[in-house]
Structure 1
Amino acid sequence: MKTLTIVFQGPTGEPGMLSPEVRDNILQTRRFFPDAEMIVSSWRMTSVADEALQRAMDAIQVRLILSDDPGVIIGSDEAGEYRCNVNRLLCSSRAGLVAATRPLAVKIRTDSRLNGRELECAINRYVVQRGGPERHPHYQIFRDRVINASWFARDARGSLPFLYHPGDILLAGRTEDLRLFFSAPLAGAELFQPSSIPGVWIPWRYVPEQWLWVHAIRNVSGRTVYQGGLRYTEQELHDSECYFLNNFVPFSPRQLKLRWPKYWRCYPLRGLFSTMTFSRWSQLHAWYQHGQRGAPYRMPDRMLTALWRAGYILRVKLLKKTIVRRLMIRLFSHHR
């Protein structure tokens, strides 16, 4: 697609190095999108390292955008330290998208790749041709819908009831819309505010995806629609769903031919029955269009979700114990 920019965001390997994995991800993606503009957006290291990385990118004809590293946000309690990379995600994604020169864009991670052209079909149908259910004007934030990989795109009726939580692994749509998604201000240490809703314990008031999406909505509407990981009302649940339905279309990684090995290495089956799949998106649209009669999802889906959520509610009770949180940080923290 000559109208498309693909922005790879994230680390590229050791300072000054383009790792074989990242290089292969770029070249494999280019194989299926040979006409797309390719950008890698990462962070400055040293002048020597940055020049070496630039030469490596020049060799494969990829534009390199480097930003100052904002670092991680660190919070702590008696169990240990909690790290959040939201500012790194925000700065590098925004810088890459600002540099994009095409009207359509994809934002993916440097440790992922596209193994087919299925994403192009989704962009053409839901973005270029504006297909799908009619959008409600009150909830429109983006000019057109944005394609979203369902990894970590949370369904508030799922087993992990997060509100305002699209996925950040892959987004594709109008370049101006992706720039808007990454238009939030930098987050500060005040983001650390351990809070919980039934079935969820998190050390952050907003997780990165929530921080980005809530501020994108605020930048367009002037409204702060959600105050963070606290208890919420039925109206807030309704609004969260409607903002997602009217601005995103979720697809599974398989449907998009998206490969991200870290998921299977670090997060296998985590959050099962918690994500907004294309099937759930379609069912929820139909449920709202038909006056919210009955239940939005089919019975087997609801039963499995309820069973999985019961397990998460038990986990939250355990996480309130300091020794359990300390063990979980050691075993499952991937932000080093």
Structure 2
Amino acid sequence: MLSRNFNLSDLTVVMQGAVGTDSASRSELIGNIAATRRALPGATLILSTWVGSGAQIDWPVDHVVESDDPGELPNFKYNSPGVMNNVNRQIVSSRAGLESVKTRYAIKMRTDCRFDGTGFLDAFLARDNGETANNRIVVPHLFSVDPRVFEQMPFHLSDWFQFGETGKLRDLWCAPPMAYEDATYYDTHAHASWSSRFDRRYRARFAPEQHVWTHYAGRAGYVCPGFHNDVSYTVLNSHDRFLSREVQVVDVAHSGFVLPRYGWALRSGFQRFNCLNAHDWSFLEAHLSGRTTDAGTQMTGFRRLRAKRFLSALASCTEPLAPMLTLPLMKPLVSRFLKGVDAWSARTAQY
């Protein structure tokens, strides 16, 4: 059972990813390490990167783990040259870093981000009721996708950071490498008939996040999708049960986690509904567990659910206009509209 007086000495942070060769990238990483140490004093820090890159500087961490670079796969989206498929790199370096952890709890995070607070830990501890310990994996809401709105991708949970029991994280990151055939799946297979413009951008059978999470969920007995936008009734129900039992979603803004290059996502009206936030998760978990919640949680949950259903229906009706709506000149207008829907729904929920 987890004590509310969480001892940070029982936590290891695995910072996983590439180490830039230029001085700016190295300075950024050193800054991220220093900030995370200040936020989590007493925790062990491990840098997990590639052979040759970690040993070139005396990094201010407790341990450096180096792995052979398995290389990248072809882009997982069509017409997106900057969207690289590094899932096999993630798997190799995450697994190696986690295998070096000696503490009960761990965080797996990227090297281009940092922690400046412990909001994620506060949320985790709040779920420990003194009788049943919280053994879920904590993830940020960006980009934990709601498969019932815009991007129809079950089991697409964020890889920005994960926190939980070390054994759980090791199980999560023991996924097999993504095969080349899966990385180029839609080169030889047609997209499902219900695929939206967003769905048809995918070249890989699964998004990198889905590849990792579906293997984890499948081993636990959950029904997983056969391809990235497999939104059958059985899969969606399984996805909901998995979320409510195995995962806890926290809002990035209140988590203490900072990823500077994705500040735009926090401001995005699209991502406000495309992702599952902490309110969505709490509402779903309470509904499936039969747990009673306060009136505010219920009202917020119903408000979000109503708005998402409206936007899902609207997206289906306006699918032929999608190429125009995603033009650079239209994106600010669409974002303002989505934020307006959020504000409207919040007002109407009060009556």
- Shorter chain as denominator, the TM-score bin is 0.7 to 0.9
Amino acid of the residue matched to residue 92 of structure 1?
S
Pairing partner for 2:160 from 151, 154, 169: 169
TM-score (norm 1): 0.78
Moved more, 72-81 or 148-157: 72-81
Alignment of 1:1-336 (within 5 A): 1-14=8-21, 19-45=26-52, 49-53=53-57, 56-57=58-59, 60-74=60-74, 83-126=84-127, 144-191=135-182, 192-194=184-186, 195=191, 197-199=194-196, 200-201=198-199, 202-221=202-221, 225-264=224-263, 269=268, 271-289=271-289, 297-299=301-303, 301-303=305-307, 306-307=310-311, 310-311=314-315
* 2:115–2:256 Cα contact (<8 Å) kept: yes
Give me the identity figure in percent: 23
User: Residues 247 and 17 from structure 1, CA distance in 2 versus in 1: closer, same or farther, beyond 3 angstroms?
Assistant: same
Partner secondary structure for residue 73 of structure 1: coil
* 1:155–1:162 Cα contact (<8 Å) kept: yes
Partner secondary structure for residue 273 of structure 1: helix
C-alpha separation in 1, matches of 2:307 and 2:37: 42
- Cα-to-partner distance string for 1:168-204 (whole Å, 9 max, x where unaligned): 1111000000011111101121122233554432222
* 2:154–2:229 Cα contact (<8 Å) kept: no
User: Residues 114 and 220 from structure 1, CA distance in 2 versus in 1: closer, same or farther, beyond 3 angstroms?
Assistant: same
Amino acid of the residue matched to residue 193 of structure 1?
Y
- Cα-to-partner distance string for 1:43-99 (whole Å, 9 max, x where unaligned): 124xxx55313xx22xx2431111111111115999586631111111111111111
C-alpha separation in 1, matches of 2:234 and 2:300: 16
* 2:147–2:231 Cα contact (<8 Å) kept: no
Q: RMSD of aligned C-alpha atoms?
A: 3.3
Structure 1 unmatched ranges of 5 or more: 133-142, 325-336
- Cα-to-partner distance string for 1:253-306 (whole Å, 9 max, x where unaligned): 111111101212688625330211111112112333459xxx994246523563
C-alpha separation in 2, matches of 1:248 and 1:78: 30
C-alpha separation in 1, matches of 2:285 and 2:78: 44
C-alpha separation in 2, matches of 1:170 and 1:263: 14
C-alpha separation in 2, matches of 1:20 and 1:316: 46
Partner secondary structure for residue 40 of structure 1: strand
User: Residues 78 and 123 from structure 1, CA distance in 2 versus in 1: closer, same or farther, beyond 3 angstroms?
Assistant: closer
User: Residues 173 and 87 from structure 1, CA distance in 2 versus in 1: closer, same or farther, beyond 3 angstroms?
Assistant: same
Amino acid of the residue matched to residue 118 of structure 1?
G
Aligned length: 300
Partner secondary structure for residue 144 of structure 2: coil
C-alpha separation in 2, matches of 1:206 and 1:212: 9
Amino acid of the residue matched to residue 228 of structure 1?
F
Residue of structure 1 equivalent to 2:349: none
C-alpha separation in 1, matches of 2:71 and 2:254: 34
User: Residues 39 and 234 from structure 1, CA distance in 2 versus in 1: closer, same or farther, beyond 3 angstroms?
Assistant: same
Structure 2 unmatched ranges of 5 or more: 1-7, 292-298, 328-351
* 2:114–2:258 Cα contact (<8 Å) kept: yes
User: Residues 31 and 213 from structure 1, CA distance in 2 versus in 1: closer, same or farther, beyond 3 angstroms?
Assistant: same
Partner secondary structure for residue 211 of structure 1: helix
* 2:152–2:229 Cα contact (<8 Å) kept: no
TM-score (norm 2): 0.74
Query: By how many angstroms is 1:156 displaced?
Result: 2.2
Residue of structure 2 equivalent to 1:139: none
